[in-house]
Amino acid sequence: MSDLQSKRTPWLLSGPALLSYALLLVVPMLMTLVLSFRSFEPMLGVQDEFVVSNYIEVFTDPYFHEIFLRTFVMSALTAFFCVLIGVPEAYILNRMRAPWKGIFLLMTLGPLLISVVVRTLGWAVIFGREGVISETIQFLGLSDGPVSLMYTQTGVLIALVHVLVPFMVLSVWASLQRLDPETERAAISLGASQFTVMRRIVLPQITPGILSGSVIVFALAATAFATPAMIGGRRLKVVATTAYDEFLHSLNWPLGASLAVVLLILNIVIITGYNRFFERKYSQVFES
């Protein structure tokens, strides 16, 4: 805007938001950080002394190692399968004709508007002992008794992929929109086969979209609560459900807080680490 405008105006305009963030974001986060360094006595509750024992416990106890490892593996597999099915689906959607393109895009993205509780419930019904999968397997004679995917890694993985794959489609879709279709035609006119066009022309141009989609999916899977809680239950704990139990069932708030802090830091490291990488690698090519 013009230099006649006062320099204070933008600060006045963003002031209310900044103030409420200071109060509602910075203060609670700092309090959580402090809480994670407090000790806990089962009889007396939270004690006002500074200890690092919660972090020592999180980092040394094999119980937590297993939970962190499970969370990491599950998130990585979720991201992998989202790439595997989300990327081709986005590409296919983008090549569809007018009414179908819109309809199927809505069908893919629409579930994002429905609570994750509802979507996960659907899988719980499908995975249950009387569920569709169990009935089908028994009907085909592949198993004598009922089969359940509830409380299994596979079950949680399938549900997480379903919940998060729309983000992958969205991310790849966005980069496909920026792709000039003439570049594909140019490659064909130069004698490239369909497969070569895909590999040499399309894929390199949508790689940023795939990478950012993977990071989004990975981060959301690593911090997901509803799906692992409903499908995995107490038997397959992840970091989020463990922190939830420490807070609301064991009432060991300091330990829960330290789990939350570690989760937050890992999340931020992964996202910003990716951004750094992305900026270095792709900024020259995709600067607009």
Partner 1 sequence: MSYLQLSNISKHFDEYVAVDNISLSVEKGEFISLLGPSGCGKTTTLQMVAGFLNPTAGSIVLDGKNITAMKPSERGLGIVFQKYALFPHMTVLENVAFGLEMRKVGKNERLQRAREALELVHLGLFIERYPRQLSGGQQQRVALARALVINPHLLLLDEPLSNLDAKLREDMQLELHDIQRRVGTTTIMVTHDQSEALAVSDRIAVMQSGRIEQIDKPFNVYEHPKSDFVSSFLGKTNTFEGRVSHGRLQVGGQHIAVDDLKLADSSNTRFALRPEKIRFCSDAPKISGKVSNRVFLGSQWIYEVQTPLGDFLIYESNNQKHDEIQEGETVGLSWDSQDMRLIAEEPASHV
Partner 2 sequence: MMRNSPLALIFHALFSIFMVAPLVVVCLVAFTDKGYLSMPFDGASFRWFKEILERPEFIEAFWFSLELGVVSATLALALAIPAALAIGRWSFPGRGAINAFLLSPLMIPHLVLGVAFLRFFSELNINGTYLGLVLAHGLMIMPYALRLVLASTSGIDPTLEHAAQSLGASNWTTFKRITLPLLLPGIASGWVLAFITSFDELTMSVFLASPSTTTLPVRMYLHIEETIDPLVASVSAMLILMTLILMALLDKFFGLERLMVGKGH
Whichever of 7 and 280 has its CB closer to partner 1, that residue is 7
Decide which of partner 1, partner 2, none touches 3; Cβ closer than 5 to 8 Å per partner kind: partner 1
For the segment 184-203, give every residue that binds partner 2 (CB under 8 A).
184
Pick from 178, 268, 273, 286 the residue near partner 2 by CB under 8 A. 268
One residue of 37, 55, 72, 247 binding partner 2 per CB under 8 A: 247
The residues that bridge with 271 in the sheet, in sequence order, are none
53 Cβ partners below 8 Å, 6+ apart? 39
Site string for partner 1, 3-42 (x = CB under 8 A): xx--------------------------------------
Total residues at the site for partner 1 (CB under 8 A)? 3
Interface segment toward partner 1; rule CB under 8 A; list 2-10, 81-89, 222-230, 251-259 = 2-10
User: Considering CB distances under 5 to 8 angstroms, the limit depending on partner class, which of partner 2, partner 1, none binds residue 98?
Assistant: none
Give the footprint of partner 2 on residues 30-49 (CB under 8 A). Answer: 31-32, 35
Binders of partner 2 in range 145-184 (CB under 8 A): 159, 162, 165, 167, 170-171, 174, 184
Instruction: Say how far residue 246 (Cα) sits from the centre of its chain.
Output: 22
Q: Which does 103 bind (CB under 5 to 8 A by kind): partner 1, partner 2, none?
A: none
Nearer to partner 2, 23 or 69 (CB): 23
* Binding segment (CB under 8 A) for partner 2, from list 55-63, 72-80, 121-129, 138-146: 121-129
Q: DSSP secondary structure string, the chain? A: --TTS-TTHHHHHHHHHHHHHIIIIIHHHHHHHHHHTSEEETTTEEESS---HHHHHHHH-HHHHHHHHHHHHHHHHHHHHHHHHHHHHHHHHHTS-HHHHHHHHHHHHGGGGS-HHHHHHHHHHHHSTTSHHHHHHHHTTS-SS----TTSHHHHHHHHHHHHHHHHHHHHHHHHHTS-HHHHHHHHHTT--HHHIIIIIIHHHHHHHHHHHHHHHHHHHHT--HHIIIIITTTT--HHHHHHHHHHTS--HHHHHHHHHHHHHHHHHHHHHHHHHHHHHHHHHH--
Among 45, 110, 204, 273, binds partner 2 (CB under 8 A): 110
Interaction pattern, residues 51-70, with partner 2; x per rule: CB under 8 A: --------------------
Q: Which residues bind partner 1 (CB under 8 A)?
A: 2-4
